[in-house]
Structures are given as structure tokens and as C-alpha cells.
């Protein structure tokens, strides 16, 4: 039986580890720095390693329509940020990105509300994926994802010249018709650019089509090293509120591919990738035009044509509450860490509570384990004076690779390292 020791921190107040008081002046002068930039590139962003990489050369045009690799981070209460490196040809080919972020949805795309189904009629996607409707031919049961993927949302990106250069973006729900957004010419007369808030959902979009390397043309195995070297493409910052607000620890699945301009002829560019050798799927899986893609079942193609991200907590304000822990855990917040209410920590374990600014205990918590705690005197996501390497494990990790962060100043580079070294997400 586990013996627990009760720490009564009283319910009507919070206790702070108040070392932050020493540095209020520095805090007031601190400047907020955001380490990643919405620009259609992963260069300089703390996305970390690729989550998916292309395995097949493109049969939709080298440096015209190709998907080289996927990068991303999903932060609770903030954004799902994704970069798909490569490009989509400026002939209004469709880059379709399906998102499985909440329970439910559709594993087989059904018809739209004009054709007896549940999906919005956005961009005729549901007609061509389900096979039901005036633009389709009822070839099959509906486009079907790999087992385990049930789409809840989709983004359609395309660009071309139609009375002037333009980039259009649609965002729709799958399995219900709650979301039906189409925003035309989001970069103001340009094929490329940045728009920080597109449509009612406020999706950030950056597109850079300058890639001239990556995978080459064909149907054989791709050069994955070349694919991984590409930095530019489509960057999306999708508010988590727009995709059902999945919380920390949840998994978001994404399935992306390039389709023709009428959603009726699939390329061989998928992420997660198809297995080489593989030509265009077309409308029937064998590269033939079929007027819709309702016969395609990704389960019949090797590998998973989706990739996964785990939702991570925002590091600026971390709350640990209503949970029992029975293995070693270290909780780190860049700003404030709140512990409780209803937290229990039991053997065998050593638990750590660390925060840039402040640790607060709310209510009671039970523990029979060793605790360690520390604060650093300032939010790790802001610039300021040098920090002590021992104040928090993340700071120790950063200063071991960038010693001036603990001897000179907590610079922009140190703030960026919070994300790249500690894998904590700054605002």
C-alpha cells in the first residue's frame, strides 16, 4: 500500500516560489520574441525533423507538383503549424490536406448535402471523392483512407492565372457541413505570399514555390536526402480552435496529396508517401482517367498515407491538474507552472517542478515522493539577462550547447533554443 504525505497548500490562496521577484525590472524590459515565421518555409523554424518524407518521384511535374516532406507542431490552445515542402503547379491543381483531429469523421468520403450526404459542397470535393453528383460517375464506394484515419476537416490549396495570378484556399468540415470556407486570391494578385488570417477560421497561409530540387520526375524511388533538403513550400498555421481544439497528448493525423484541378485525377505525390515504384493513381488506381476518385482505397496501397503529430502543451503557462502520476516526471513551464488541484504523485518516482517565472500550488496535492523545484527569474520565451543553468533542466540543456545563454544574455538564439533544444513551444 502506498503511503501518501499530504501537502496542505490551502484552497484559498496559491503559493509561489518567488525567486522571480529579484528580476522584475528585467522582466519589464523583456521583449517578446517569436521564434517561427509564417513565410512558406521551414528555414529557421523550430519544427524539428521531418514527420514524413517522399518515397516516390513525381509524375505530376518535377518542381511543378511535388511533395517532398512534412514538418509540423501542434500546440494545445494555439496552432497546428505544418510545412509541406515542394509545390503545387500553377494550373489550379489541388493540394488537398485532410485532417483527423477529433473523434468521428469519415474514413470513406461521402456525398455532399446536395447529393444526399453530410459534407459541404465546397469546391466539388465531396462530389468527386464520393462519386455522387453531376461532376462524378459513381465509379466506386468513395475515396477511402488507410485504417485508423477518419477525416474531420480538409484544406484545398490551389493557384494559377484566371483573370490574374491568384492563390485560393478552401477549408471544409468532413462528416458534417459546419465549415464551408473559400477564400480567393489570398495573396492579392500573386501566386505566392503570406496571409496571416484566411477565412472565418483565421488560417495563416504562406506559400513559396521557389523549390528547384527535391524529388525528380518519374515513378521510381525518390532520393529521400534530396527531398529532406527542401525548405520551401506551403506553410499553414491552423488555429486549434478551427479543428476541434484537440488537447495535449491527443494525436492529429494528416493525409496530404496532389490532385488535378477537378479533384478527379490523383498524382503519386502523397504524404505519408506511397511505396515506389508508383505512378499516378488517376481515378482508378492504375493511372486512368475515371471522372472521379471514388474507387481509390488507400488501404490497398502499401504503407500509411497519413502522418501523425502529438498535441503538446504550450510552455508559457502550464497547468498540471486532476491527474495521478506514478513514474518519474519533470514538469517545465517557460513562464508559469500551476500544480493542482487534485494532483497525486506516488512512488516510485522523483518529480520536478520548474518554471521560468513562477510555480503556484492550487489546493492540496498528495505525494510520497521526492520533489525538486526551481524558477529562473524570467520567462524563457523572452529575452533578458543570462540565466543560471541549474534553474531548470531546459536552461541547462540550452546552455550546454550555447554557453552564452548562461554567461552573457538570454538572447533571441536562446529563446529559439527553447523550441529547438527543449521541444517546448513558445507563444
89 contacts Ca ion (rule: CB under 5 A): no
Q: Which three cell numbers stand for residue 44?
A: 529557421
β-strands 153-161, 165-173: how paired? antiparallel
Q: Torsion-angle region of residue 218: left (phi > 0), alpha (psi -120 to 50) or beta? A: left
Q: Nearest 5 degrees, angle CA 70-CA 73-CA 76?
A: 150
Per CB under 5 A, the list member of 152, 292, 419, 425 interacting with Ca ion is 152
Considering only residues 54 to 83 of the shown chain, the ones binding Ca ion according to CB under 5 A are: 62-63
CB of 257 to Ca ion, least distance (A): 11
214 contacts Ca ion (rule: CB under 5 A): yes
Sequence-ordered strand ranges (E) for 232-369: 233-239, 251-259, 266-271, 307-312, 317-320, 323-325, 329-333, 336-339, 343-345, 350-355, 358-361, 365-367
CB of 38 to Ca ion, least distance (A): 6
- In 3D space, the residue among 285, 263, 282 whose CA is nearest the CA of residue 126 turns out to be 263
CA distance 186 to 345: 50
Name the burial class of residue 286, with classes exposed (0-12), middle (13-18) and buried (19+) by CB atoms within 10 angstroms of its CB.
exposed
CA distance 385 to 353: 22
Q: Which three cell numbers stand for residue 258?
A: 496532389
208 contacts Ca ion (rule: CB under 5 A): no
Point out which span in 99-107, 119-127, 176-184, 281-289 binds Ca ion (CB under 5 A): 99-107
Per CB under 5 A, the list member of 146, 208, 231, 425 interacting with Ca ion is 146
- In 3D space, the residue among 360, 376, 413, 418 whose CA is nearest the CA of residue 394 turns out to be 418
150 contacts Ca ion (rule: CB under 5 A): yes
260 contacts Ca ion (rule: CB under 5 A): no
CA distance 347 to 364: 18
CB of 58 to Ca ion, least distance (A): 7
> Which of residues 243 and 333 has its CB atom nearest to Ca ion in the complex?
243
> Which of residues 105 and 131 has its CB atom nearest to Ca ion in the complex?
105
272 contacts Ca ion (rule: CB under 5 A): no
CA distance 361 to 363: 6
> Which of residues 296 and 343 has its CB atom nearest to Ca ion in the complex?
296
199 contacts Ca ion (rule: CB under 5 A): no
Name the burial class of residue 92, with classes exposed (0-12), middle (13-18) and buried (19+) by CB atoms within 10 angstroms of its CB.
middle
> Which of residues 257 and 358 has its CB atom nearest to Ca ion in the complex?
257
Considering only residues 20 to 49 of the shown chain, the ones binding Ca ion according to CB under 5 A are: 37, 39, 41, 45
- In 3D space, the residue among 356, 354, 333 whose CA is nearest the CA of residue 410 turns out to be 356
273 contacts Ca ion (rule: CB under 5 A): no
CA distance 321 to 231: 39
Per-residue contact string for residues 159-198; x = within reach of Ca ion by CB under 5 A: ----------------------------------------
100 contacts Ca ion (rule: CB under 5 A): yes
CB of 62 to Ca ion, least distance (A): 5
Q: How many residues in the shown chain lie near Ca ion by CB under 5 A? A: 15
Helix (H) or strand (E) holding 296: none
Of all residues in the shown chain, the one whose CB is closest to Ca ion is: 105
> Which of residues 100 and 127 has its CB atom nearest to Ca ion in the complex?
100
Per CB under 5 A, the list member of 27, 61, 135, 301 interacting with Ca ion is 301
416 contacts Ca ion (rule: CB under 5 A): no
Point out which span in 214-222, 327-335, 374-382, 390-398 binds Ca ion (CB under 5 A): 214-222
The residues, ordered by sequence, that sit 6+ positions from 90 with a Cβ below 8 Å of its Cβ are 159, 160, 161, 165, 191, 209
Per CB under 5 A, the list member of 46, 72, 105, 340 interacting with Ca ion is 105
245 contacts Ca ion (rule: CB under 5 A): no
Per-residue contact string for residues 106-145; x = within reach of Ca ion by CB under 5 A: ----------------------------------------
Name the burial class of residue 10, with classes exposed (0-12), middle (13-18) and buried (19+) by CB atoms within 10 angstroms of its CB.
exposed
- Where on the chain is the footprint of Ca ion (CB under 5 A)? 37, 39, 41, 45, 62-63, 100, 105, 146, 150, 152, 214, 298, 301, 305
Amino acid at each position: 500500500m502506498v503511503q501518501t504525505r499530504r501537502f496542505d497548500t490551502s484552497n484559498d490562496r496559491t503559493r509561489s516560489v518567488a525567486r522571480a521577484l529579484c528580476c522584475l525590472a528585467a522582466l519589464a524590459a523583456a521583449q517578446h520574441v517569436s521564434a517561427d515565421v509564417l513565410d512558406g518555409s521551414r528555414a529557421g523554424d523550430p519544427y524539428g525533423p521531418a514527420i514524413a518524407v517522399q518515397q516516390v518521384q513525381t509524375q505530376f511535374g518535377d518542381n511543378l507538383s511535388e511533395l517532398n516532406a512534412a514538418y509540423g507542431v501542434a500546440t494545445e490552445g494555439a496552432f497546428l503549424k505544418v510545412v509541406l515542402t515542394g509545390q503545387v503547379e500553377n494550373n489550379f491543381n489541388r493540394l488537398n490536406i485532410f485532417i483527423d483531429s477529433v473523434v468521428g469523421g469519415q474514413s470513406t468520403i461521402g456525398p455532399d448535402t446536395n447529393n444526399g450526404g453530410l459534407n459541404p459542397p465546397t469546391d466539388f470535393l465531396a462530389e468527386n471523392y464520393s462519386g455522387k453528383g453531376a461532376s462524378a460517375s459513381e465509379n466506386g464506394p468513395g475515396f477511402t483512407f488507410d485504417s485508423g484515419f477518419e477525416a474531420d476537416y480538409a484544406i484545398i490549396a490551389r493557384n494559377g492565372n484566371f483573370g490574374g495570378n491568384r492563390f485560393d484556399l478552401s477549408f471544409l468540415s468532413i462528416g458534417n457541413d459546419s465549415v464551408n470556407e473559400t477564400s480567393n486570391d489570398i495573396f492579392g494578385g500573386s501566386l505566392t505570399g503570406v496571409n496571416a488570417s484566411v477565412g472565418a477560421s483565421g488560417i495563416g497561409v504562406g506559400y513559396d514555390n521557389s523549390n528547384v530540387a527535391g524529388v525528380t520526375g518519374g515513378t521510381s524511388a525518390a532520393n529521400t536526402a534530396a527531398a529532406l533538403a527542401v525548405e520551401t513550400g506551403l506553410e499553414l498555421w491552423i488555429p486549434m480552435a478551427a479543428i476541434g481544439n484537440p488537447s495535449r497528448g491527443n494525436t492529429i493525423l494528416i493525409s496530404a496529396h496532389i490532385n488535378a484541378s477537378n479533384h478527379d485525377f490523383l498524382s503519386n505525390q502523397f504524404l505519408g508517401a506511397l511505396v515506389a515504384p508508383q505512378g499516378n493513381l488517376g481515378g482508378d488506381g492504375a493511372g486512368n482517367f475515371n471522372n472521379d476518385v471514388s474507387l481509390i482505397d488507400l488501404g490497398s496501397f502499401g504503407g500509411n498515407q497519413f502522418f501523425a503529430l502529438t498535441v503538446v502543451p504550450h510552455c508559457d503557462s502550464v497547468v498540471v491538474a486532476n491527474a495521478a502520476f506514478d513514474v518519474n516526471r519533470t514538469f517545465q513551464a517557460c513562464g508559469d507552472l500551476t500544480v493542482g488541484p487534485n494532483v497525486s504523485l506516488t512512488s516510485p518516482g522523483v518529480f520536478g517542478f520548474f518554471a521560468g517565472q513562477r510555480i503556484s500550488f492550487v489546493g492540496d496535492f498528495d505525494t510520497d515522493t521526492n520533489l525538486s523545484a526551481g524558477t529562473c527569474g524570467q520567462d524563457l520565451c523572452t529575452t533578458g539577462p543570462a540565466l543560471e543553468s541549474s534553474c531548470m533542466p531546459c536552461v541547462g540543456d540550452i546552455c550546454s550547447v550555447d554557453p552564452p545563454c548562461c554567461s552573457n544574455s538570454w538572447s533571441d538564439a536562446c529563446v529559439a533554443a527553447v523550441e529547438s533544444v527543449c521541444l517546448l513551444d513558445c507563444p
